A and B are shown apart, each in its own frame.
Chain A
């Protein structure tokens, strides 16, 4: 059974034991230091999480870059920290099929997130060392919250309880703005509440066990409960939840550092943003929703977990890498069992590489068509590369080999104009529309003619035995 974590603290301890967490004693300034630390940690290969222990003017610590490297990502899954990306992809696929695993409900007394309660003179700054992430941001943002909302029409339907990550701008000591994009689950629930002019109860949870954060940013179905996926990705070990204090149908992670409860103010929009986003540019200011905070519960000495995002790669790119790839792979595999792996790690799936067996001539393009008709791939994916089953799509050296030796541009590159696009892609014009490009880098299969020799070379006989001999000699220092 793989190692699992009940809360963020257990994970941070493992990161530290594995040399993947460093502490900054400080004191440091909130600006520009906390943003700069997140940027710097992401720029280091296999960068560590960074726990900043003393921040000027604040009481408590903050941690950043928790998901920001492949080593940390492997440790999140309880795997060896040197597990390859493809090994992590395959392990996630295996555990994914254990869904659903019912979470364990704990009592209020058992839940660490209920150690302290604040209902009067609410002041986020007392608990959270808030800071500006990028210079032109409109204010201080929570970039890594797991936000819990229910369906006002079916409040007791646990399947419709949604846990998602949405950017949150601090507007006052007890009021925050939230970005509820129309194509995300929370917007469905908000619309139901706003038609009745009713507030939508909400719980913003911060500092969770890493797989809660992972599932909160995974595009699963509306009727799929993220907590039941966390149990699956913990290889069958249920995650622990507790009822929110202010709403009977909201459930929050028992081990959260901080739980902010309140409601979305109905039929109300004010300026939110701008905010530096994952494509590496700012997304502009818009009129967006606001949340009135009514209650906060938190652990003793809460740790503020937040992430830096900007020019890729940063922490968010590691977080959204495999949790975008795995659901796309599952959707393709259902109708096309030839598909071997899907790499949708680049810019939240705007670039995708698919490895597949080619059942008959032209099949590679058919696989691309399937990707471009999935819920996520249709708007997001712009550049699709298809490679043979023996190419690891997570290994760009191999993908470049496939591009250089398998692509005949006049027949293998296709452009399709005027398709659905992703508005945050700064190349899409008008925003939200783009041209798709499909590159078929697979070996031609009949009835496609293949006038040239493309058979792969075999390894010389004895290579494997010699591999062992050479490794042994290296070890002996000869």
Chain B
């Protein structure tokens, strides 16, 4: 299985449905996209991610310098 957003294969099962055997939720451990097995996932091209996009993302809020 690969991540529908960044194509990483670092996917884990986050959780199984608490009641019955209805669904599972997966999460990508690279870009933290998560989805349910029952969903139809279609990440639009503009929201797809790669290493470069993640590296250049804005940080909110910025991390301050360490105090003395």
Contact = CB atoms under 8 A, between A and B. Distances in A.
A140 B15 contact: no
B44 A271 contact: no
A408 B3 CA distance: 57
Contact of A182 (B5, B23, B57, B62): B62
Contacts of A123: 15, 18
Contacts of A247: none
A338 interface: no
A170 B33 CA distance: 10
A136 interface: yes
A271 B57 contact: yes
Contact of B18 (A125, A270, A274, A284): A125
Interface string B28-43: 0001111110110011
Interface in A340-387: none
The interface centre, meaning the residue of B22, B33, B61, B65 with most chain A CB atoms within 10 A of its CB, is B61
A59 B19 contact: yes
Contact of A285 (B39, B47, B67): B47
Interface size class of B (residues with CB under 8 A): 35 or more
A406 interface: no
Contacts of A272: 32
Given A59-B19, A123-B15, A287 B60 contact: yes
Contacts of A169: 32
Given A190-B61, A270-B32, A286-B60, A173 B47 contact: no
Contacts of B31: 271, 285
B61 A180 contact: yes
A3 interface: no
Interface string A128-142: 000010011011100
Interface string A270-299: 111010000000101111100000000000
B41 to A, nearest CB: 9
Contacts of A135: 42
Contact of A269 (B5, B43, B59, B64): B59
A181 B54 CA distance: 19
B60 A180 contact: yes
Contacts of A172: 14, 27
B18 A271 contact: no
Contacts of A396: none
B1 interface: no
A139 B47 contact: no
Interface stretch (A192-200, A218-226, A313-321, A323-331): A192-200
Contacts of A187: 61
B22 A31 contact: no
Given A31-B36, A182-B60, A285-B49, 15 more contacts: A30-B38, A56-B20, A123-B18, A136-B44, A169-B32, A172-B14, A173-B14, A180-B60, A195-B65, A269-B60, A269-B63, A271-B49, A286-B60, A287-B54, A287-B59
13 contacts: A29-B38, A57-B19, A139-B35, A170-B34, A171-B32, A171-B34, A172-B14, A173-B15, A187-B61, A271-B57, A284-B47, A285-B57, A286-B59
Interface of A: 29-31, 56-59, 123, 125-126, 132, 135-136, 138-140, 169-173, 177, 179-182, 187, 190-191, 194-197, 267, 269-272, 274, 282, 284-288
Interface of B: 5, 14-15, 17-20, 22-23, 25, 27, 31-36, 38-39, 42-44, 47, 49, 54, 57-67
